[in-house]
A and B are shown apart, each in its own frame.
Chain A
Amino acid sequence: MEVLAVLLILVAGAAVAVWLYIANQGDAHFQFIVDQRTDFTLAEITQAAATFKATVPFVNNGTQDGTLMDVFPRHFLPGEQFDAVDTDVRLTLNSANRSDGYWEAYIVPFNTGGAVILTVTFTAKSGDIREALKDMVDMPIDIIFQVVARSPWYIDKNRLVMTAAEIHKALAAGQQAAVR
Chain B
Amino acid sequence: MTEQALALKPVPTRILTDKDNIVDIIEHYAKEDIGPNDVVSVAESVVAITQGRIVRPEELQPSLLARILCRFVPQKGSLSSVYGMQAAMNAEGSGRVAWAMFLGMLGKLVGRHGLFYELAGEQAALIDDVTGTMPPFDKYLVYGPADPNGVAEAIKKRLGCYGAVVADVNDLKRAAVLGVTPGLNPQEIARLLIDNPFGNASQKTPIVIIKNYGSAAQRATGQ
Q: Do A and B come from one complex?
A: yes
A67→B81 contact, CB < 8 A: yes
Contact A69 B81, CB 8 Å, known A105-B130, A150-B70: no
Contacts of A106 in B (CB 8 A): 131
Query: Quick one: which of B57, B67, B68, B80 contacts A69, CB cutoff 8 A?
Result: B57
Complex CA gap A82/B52 in Å reads 47
Closest to A151 in B: B82
Cβ-defined contact, B71 with A25, below 8 A: yes
Which residue of the partner chain, among A22, A64, A151, contacts B75 with CB atoms under 8 Å?
Answer: A64
Query: How does the 8 Å CB contact mask read for A81-102 relative to B, with 1 for contact and 0 for none?
Result: 0000000000000000000001
How far does the alpha carbon of A107 sit from the alpha carbon of B138 in the complex, in Å? 11
Which residues of chain A come closer than 8 Å to B68, judged between CB atoms? 18, 22
Q: Check if A170 is an interface residue, CB within 8 A of chain B.
A: no
For residue B3, CB closer than 8 A to chain A, the reply is no
Task: State the CA gap A104–B136 with chains docked (Å).
Answer: 8
Q: Residues of B contacting A152 with CB < 8 Å? A: 62, 67, 82
Is B139 an interface residue when CB atoms closer than 8 A count as contact? yes
Q: Is the CB of A148 within 8 A of B135?
A: no
B67 proximity list for chain A (CB < 8 A) = 151-152
* Contact A105 B82, beta carbon cutoff 8 Å: no
Q: Which of A21, A102, A107, A150 contacts B135 (CB 8 A)?
A: A102
Q: Which of A64, A65, A149, A150 has the most CB of B within 10 A?
A: A150
Whether B138 and A104, one on each chain, are in contact in the complex, defined by CB atoms closer than 8 angstroms, is yes
Q: Which residues of A contact B32 (CB under 8 A)?
A: none
With the chains together, A149 CA to B70 CA distance in Å?
10
Proximity bits, B120-158, A CB within 8 Å = 1, else 0: 000000000111000110110000000000000000000
Whether A70 sits at the interface, judged by CB under 8 Å, is yes
Q: Shortest CB–CB separation between residue A155 and chain B, in angstroms?
A: 11
A76 within 8 A of B: no
List 18 contacting pairs A-B, 8 Å CB cutoff, sorted by A.
Answer: A21-B71, A22-B68, A65-B75, A65-B76, A67-B81, A67-B129, A69-B130, A69-B139, A70-B139, A102-B135, A102-B136, A105-B130, A107-B131, A148-B57, A148-B130, A151-B82, A152-B67, A153-B83
The 3 A-B residue pairs whose C-beta atoms are closest, nearest first, are A105-B138, A105-B131, A65-B75
